[in-house]
Structure 1
Amino acid sequence: MTEFDVLIVGSGLFGAVFAHECRKAGKKVLVIDRRLHSGGNVYCEDVNGINVHKYGAHIFHTNDRPIWDYVNSFVEFNNYVNSPLAVYKDELYNLPFNMNTFHQLWKVKTPQEAKSIIDKQVAELKINEPRNLEEQALSLVGVDIYEKLIKGYTEKQWGRKASELPAFIIKRLPLRFTYNNNYFNDKYQGIPVGGYNKLTQGLLEGIEVRLGIDFFSAREELSALAETVVFTGQLDEFYHYRHGMLQYRSLRFEHEQLATDNYQGNAVVNYTERDVPYTRIIEHKHFEFGQQSHTVITREYPQEWSRGLEPYYPINDDTNARVYKQYKALADQETNIIFGGRLAEYRYYDMHQVIGSALYQVKQYLKISK
């Protein structure tokens, strides 16, 4: 007889939501994680009273009222609005591309003036069928926006020239012809008061969590502990890379504490020049309107992924789609294993999407397991 109903591999949002709903339904749950902390990539580290987003900025946003109410049932969210800035050489621009950006670029004041400049630049390029990301972006926004705010940032992010990247990566580039710096269009947006650990700890309350446990170091013994395994790690690793490795982009973070109360005046500032090695600087205290006398900043460096590094962004090209399809076929044949989350599903998820996926999958599981 097994000791647990469910073994959940990974304590990020998918695993934590799945665990919480199982416990509510009376299931006995064990959560394991290879890291020495729970919470996955939303984990925050307390650095002298500042909640540092250890694995990059996480800003919760959604149009889904039930999911907004769900997360707020564990911790109150503040009214933080994401309004990033972009630095190009000695110039400063508002993001996303809006009338403030266009005024900073061309000194225009009306939407019609901005549209006329963009339309003229696009028409002069005469790009009918974009062959790569560079041509796709140019055909959407023209030369000025592309050269100053897209090209360098994109090439750093992907580690290759924009002219070598497929056009489909940029399907559209939203142009907002209002003076609105709110990056997201979603109705609900904010940061947990006291940091994301409040959310994940609330989800995992009353559940046994074992940290520093690598599932693959004792796979058979751990799987034997429960009737059902919920796996949130890399799908190709689960199957010993038998069809090859799925590819990702990774990130490296450089955290620094500074003896100043305000370093850059904003939570997120992008650096769009190719020659600046990092893509952005995050100043964490501004997520929670902190008034501390010191601050903590993080420089974010994109890098090629290899085994041993954290996989952040799946590379959703045709080659990886074919490889993933083979792994998905194997996963679909499993009877007592559930795969979920950004790594197991090989897709980029916003936080509300991963929570929605977990709620859907746990509902299906609980129906079957009754």
Structure 2
Amino acid sequence: MAVDYPDLVVVGAGLFGLTVAQQAAELAGARVEVIDVRDHIGGNAYSYVDEETGAEIHKYGAHLFHTSSPRVWEYVNRFTGFTDYVHRVWATHDGEVYPLPTNLGTINQFFRAHMTPAEARALIAEQAGELAGQDPKNLNDKGISLIGRPLYEAFIKEYTAKQWQTDPAELPASIINRLPVRFNYDNRYFQDTWEGLPVDGYTAWMERMVADERIHVSLGVDFFDASQPYNKDALRAAGVPVVYTGPVDRYFDYALGDLKWRTVDFREVRYDEGDHFGCPVMNFSDADVPYTRAIEFKNFNPERRESQNPDRTVVWEEYSRFAERGDEPYYPVNTDADKELYA
């Protein structure tokens, strides 16, 4: 029996894949089949409400929407409204909590000073000049040359070692190009024109994107499983256009080898209190804390306090490591060898 193939198959029901599907249906009148091996839409931005606490859990780590593109902002607002959430991050170092990215407040607190912007700028320039005239041999050198040794060693060095499971002295300098330092008290994490979180969650937003009779979504479908109707070989043989949004090395069956990725493991902790950190994201800069950061999801949505449990909260601790096959590939390592392999 012949398969009635659609005009387009999109592999991956994340934000990019769903945007392709929505636009193909709307602008070209295409019949689109969206498939995903997971049991939900939304890709890594998928979220759900935790029944005990009322917190909206971002299953694959914190996702914050921000853009400076009027076109993008107009488009996404067709499918969701946004809260007035502004992302701010705090870091615990040596028993104190500091604002990030590094700004005048961070600098004055760290150095126990009350410097003006000009004084702080001069100090950081002096400290960053420690390695002036030298080509950075590794990430350590690069970090010092960007923000000076004291701030680098306090907030970057050990945090980076946890992220990469490697001493920064053994990491290439090319991993970082810049480290933001603001010589004012602006501790907003993003500097984009528009920012916020979808008012009723990421999943509801993305469900509305595909609420079109020309779009069909099939979950639990493995593109690489030859026994399933929308598989790579069958679609290629039938000449069906495919937009693939997964890891590119997997698409080619690792024929040239594996690209390097980092992944994240989460440990869930529940507390008998309404608010544990007082903020959504707390970084832990020091090596004696094994995780890089903790996310307290309730604090992303203070406008929902009335529907949240005032006596319980949930926190996810993040542990970064190199990914192996079968892991969720979160971040490309993007070494020179990876770039060459990708090309």
Secondary structure of the corresponding residue to residue 86 of structure 1: strand
| CA apart distance, 1:37 | 0.8
Give the match for residue 136 of structure 1: 142
Give the match for residue 17 of structure 1: 19
1:301-328 C-alpha deviation (Å, 9 max, x unpaired): 1011100100011111110011101xxx
1:255-277 C-alpha deviation (Å, 9 max, x unpaired): 23333211100011100112211
Structure 1 unaligned regions, length at least 5: 326-370
For residue 176 of structure 1, what is the amino acid of its counterpart? R
Q: How many Å separate the matches in 1 of 2:249 and 2:126?
A: 47
| 2:1 equivalent to 1:4 | no
| 2:63 equivalent to 1:58 | yes
Q: How many Å separate the matches in 1 of 2:150 and 2:29?
A: 58
| CA apart distance, 1:253 | 1.2
Equivalent residue in structure 2 for 1:86, among 84, 91, 109: 91
Give the alignment of 1:279-318 within 5 angstroms: 279-289=292-302, 290-291=304-305, 292=308, 293=310, 294-318=312-336
Query: Residues 223, 38 of structure 1: CA spacing in aligned structure 2 closer, same or farther, 3 A cutoff?
Result: farther
Between 287-296 and 142-151, the greater mean CA deviation after superposition: 287-296
Give the alignment of 1:270-349 within 5 angstroms: 270-289=283-302, 290-291=304-305, 292=308, 293=310, 294-325=312-343
| CA apart distance, 1:222 | 5.2
Give the match for residue 220 of structure 2: 212
Give the alignment of 1:163-174 within 5 angstroms: 163-174=169-180
Give the match for residue 256 of structure 2: 243
| CA apart distance, 1:3 | 2.4
Query: Residues 117, 73 of structure 1: CA spacing in aligned structure 2 closer, same or farther, 3 A cutoff?
Result: same
Is contact 2:131–2:141 with CA below 8 Å preserved after alignment?
no
Query: Residues 194, 103 of structure 1: CA spacing in aligned structure 2 closer, same or farther, 3 A cutoff?
Result: same
Equivalent residue in structure 2 for 1:181, among 174, 182, 187: 187
Secondary structure of the corresponding residue to residue 227 of structure 1: coil
Q: How many Å separate the matches in 2 of 1:127 and 1:282?
A: 40
Give the match for residue 364 of structure 1: none
Work out the number of aligned pairs and report it: 325
Give the match for residue 107 of structure 2: 102
Q: How many Å separate the matches in 2 of 1:57 and 1:133?
A: 26
1:309-360 C-alpha deviation (Å, 9 max, x unpaired): 00011111110011101xxxxxxxxxxxxxxxxxxxxxxxxxxxxxxxxxxx
| 2:42 equivalent to 1:39 | yes
Q: How many Å separate the matches in 2 of 1:90 and 1:283?
A: 19
Q: How many Å separate the matches in 2 of 1:165 and 1:111?
A: 32
Q: How many Å separate the matches in 1 of 2:66 and 2:103?
A: 20
Between 215-224 and 238-247, the greater mean CA deviation after superposition: 215-224
Structure 2 unaligned regions, length at least 5: none
TM-score normalised by the chain length of structure 2: 0.91
Report percent identity of matched pairs.
Answer: 42
Q: How many Å separate the matches in 1 of 2:172 and 2:335?
A: 8
Secondary structure of the corresponding residue to residue 163 of structure 1: helix
For residue 184 of structure 2, what is the amino acid of its counterpart? T
For residue 44 of structure 1, what is the amino acid of its counterpart? S
Secondary structure of the corresponding residue to residue 215 of structure 1: coil
Secondary structure of the corresponding residue to residue 118 of structure 1: helix
| CA apart distance, 1:123 | 3.1
Secondary structure of the corresponding residue to residue 4 of structure 1: coil
Is contact 2:7–2:240 with CA below 8 Å preserved after alignment?
yes
CA RMSD of aligned residues (A): 1.6
Q: How many Å separate the matches in 2 of 1:253 and 1:311?
A: 14
Query: Residues 307, 112 of structure 1: CA spacing in aligned structure 2 closer, same or farther, 3 A cutoff?
Result: same
Give the alignment of 1:214-229 within 5 angstroms: 214-218=222-226, 219=231, 220-221=233-234, 227-229=240-242
TM-score normalised by the chain length of structure 1: 0.84
Q: How many Å separate the matches in 1 of 2:133 and 2:313?
A: 46
For residue 197 of structure 1, what is the amino acid of its counterpart? T
Is contact 1:284–1:297 with CA below 8 Å preserved after alignment?
yes
Secondary structure of the corresponding residue to residue 56 of structure 1: coil
Is contact 1:52–1:284 with CA below 8 Å preserved after alignment?
yes
| CA apart distance, 1:126 | 4.5
Is contact 1:33–1:211 with CA below 8 Å preserved after alignment?
yes
Give the match for residue 267 of structure 1: 280
Q: How many Å separate the matches in 2 of 1:226 and 1:287?
A: 45
Q: How many Å separate the matches in 2 of 1:201 and 1:159?
A: 37
Give the match for residue 116 of structure 1: 122
Secondary structure of the corresponding residue to residue 25 of structure 2: helix
